[in-house]
Structure 1
Amino acid sequence: MTSVRLVSFNVHHGVGRDGRHDLPRLAQVLAAADADVVCLQEVDRHFGDRSEHVDQALLLSRALDLELAWGPSIDEPGGGTDRRQYGNALLSRLPLLGSELHRLPGQGEPRTALRARVQLAGGELWVTTTHLSSRSAEDRAAQAAALAGLHDHPQAAVLVGDLNAAATAPELAPLRERLSDAWELAANRSDQAGRFSLHARQGMTHPARRPRMRIDQVWVSAGVTVTGARVLDGSGASDHHPLLVELDLPAGG
């Protein structure tokens, strides 16, 4: 059996509730999570003033000493030699065997899925990180169907991201046909809601100040056991809180 700690976090291009871009603060939150695989959404690379034109993906991977896979959803010419990009990043302390970018259907802001093949002891795990449309349920339904199509083989796999919908939403039905909601499977669960809150142990991740939506999710394929799920404290580093899941996979993936 192989254990994997995985975090999914919409980092809001490194801008916290105080409106400040603070990449070291974000790096501290991620370092404290001590995850084997970190999946990030809303990451900038030389995007603009809001993130001080820095390459967030590269800086975070160096600060945490993790391998990097990158999947731009927006990719445009910049003012200089660097391209202006925004999208999903995957950081890993486990060896990355390759990655691929899939464009998702829908109108408005471009959406993508970044898939990476992660090496485990005696096996592999496919990890997909994505950020679905906030525009319409129709777009999310088409995107969910495309994502489900990436999971039509009996491989150990995890799909994570900001899905902009509840796990039970009708538009996510294609995912429920292929994968299972890790939060519901987890034997142990905790979140940022107070003990007596109506939202306690419900996995709410957004908005960070008073979470009332569970739109940041992890979905797993058959054979992946979820031993724990926790909504961590984003410490003001984003407008979301990160979600940590602890997974067990059989030898050989």
Structure 2
Amino acid sequence: MTDPRGVKPAPGPDQPPIPVRLVTFNTHHGVGDDRRHDLPRLAKVLAAADADVICLQEVDRHFGERSEDVDQALLLSRALDVQLAWGPAIDEARPGDAPRRQYGNALLSRLPILVSDVHPLPGSGEPRSALRTLVELDGGALWVTTTHLTTRSAAERAEQVELLAALTTESMATGVLVGDLNAAPDAPELAGLRERFTDAWEVAGEREDQARWRFWQREEGLTHPARAPHARIDQVWVTPGIQVAGARVLDGAGASDHLPLVVDLLVPSGV
């Protein structure tokens, strides 16, 4: 409802929270457990999740033969008819007029993307980065930081977590940090996250995973490796005030060596 001047009033404290479905998925550059690069298969898995925001890691853009030198981020955004934010970790020039060779994180959103920036993470070996975005909600907004931490050492992951925690300022009171963290949620090197965020899986109202007959692993949220998951390294962390109605590990249909994780968030309005 608007007042006679056509101005929409700000949401009051009694406004209901805003539902947002979010997916995080390490795509393994579109190569499945059958070793085939199959972007349509990946797009089908993502479409079936019916998410508002999709956070992807290990995405190629004109990277080379392993992904048929295509722009995966652009093709997926077009296939799903959503907006795209891109955060390269590897960004290299190629000869002549060839597109840059890139690899990193992508955010696909059917909600408007208001802000997008990329932050390199410290560490040696394969370059890592964080993609920070602000998406507009109907009556609010949500900061989403997508990342992929190193596999090299816990010490380097701790350095990366310190930078990630610093990216979430007081003005970003409503936010999530998601991605492949290459560590269990209770790992010592993630202590900096636990000071500012809550593990969405642990507080979800409903939980479902792909344990199937492995009853001793039921409701553990394991995502890697896809064929017989035994690690919960793909995670969603939420700031105080965000409720988690449900969390599910999806069937990845063999599209990657990870399984996708979907969370149904209830985001405070007017923030």
- Deviations along 1:202-241, one digit per CA (max 9) or x if unpaired, are 0000000000000000000011000100000001000000
Contact 1:121–1:252 at 8 Å: present in 2 too? no
Kindly report the root-mean-square deviation, in angstroms, between the aligned alpha carbons of the 2 structures: 0.9
Any stretches of 5+ residues in structure 2 without a counterpart?
Answer: 1-16
Closer, same or farther: CA 196–133 of 1 in aligned 2, 3 Å: closer
- Show structure 1 runs of 5+ residues with no match: none
Residue number in structure 1 paired with 2:46: 30
Residue in structure 2 matched with residue 129 of structure 1 by the alignment = 146
Amino acid at match of 1:78: R
Report the counterpart of residue 138 of structure 1 in structure 2. Answer: 155
- 1:113 equivalent in alignment to 2:130: yes
C-alpha distance in 1 between matches for 2:268 and 2:190: 27
Q: In 2, Cα distance between the equivalents of 1:198 and 1:101?
A: 40
Separation in structure 1 between the aligned mates of residue 94 and residue 224 of structure 2, nearest angstrom: 31
Q: Which has the larger radius of gyration?
A: 2
Q: Could you state the TM-score of these two structures normalised by the residue count of structure 2? A: 0.92
Deviations 1:155-208 (A, max 9, x none): 200000000000000000000000000000101000000154221110000000
Q: Which residue of 1 aligns with 2:253?
A: 235
Q: Identity of counterpart residues, as a percentage?
A: 67
1:233 partner amino acid: D
Among 53, 57, 66, the residue aligned to 2:69: 53
Residue type of the partner of 2:70?
A: V
1:104 matched residue in structure 2: 121
Cα distance between partner residues in 2 of 1:202 and 1:149 = 29
Please give the alpha-carbon distance, in whole angstroms, between the structure 1 residues aligned to 2:196 and 2:268.
19
1:69 maps to 2:88? no
TM-score, with structure 1 as normaliser: 0.98
Per-residue CA deviation, residues 133-160 of structure 1 (Å, 9 max, x unaligned), is: 0111011000011111112315200000
* Number of equivalent positions: 253
Is the 8 Å Cα contact of residues 152 and 178 (structure 1) preserved in structure 2? no
Matched residues in 1 for 2:214 and 2:146: separation?
33
For 1:23, give the aligned amino acid: L
SS at match of 2:88: strand
Q: Which is further off, 140-149 or 79-88?
A: 79-88
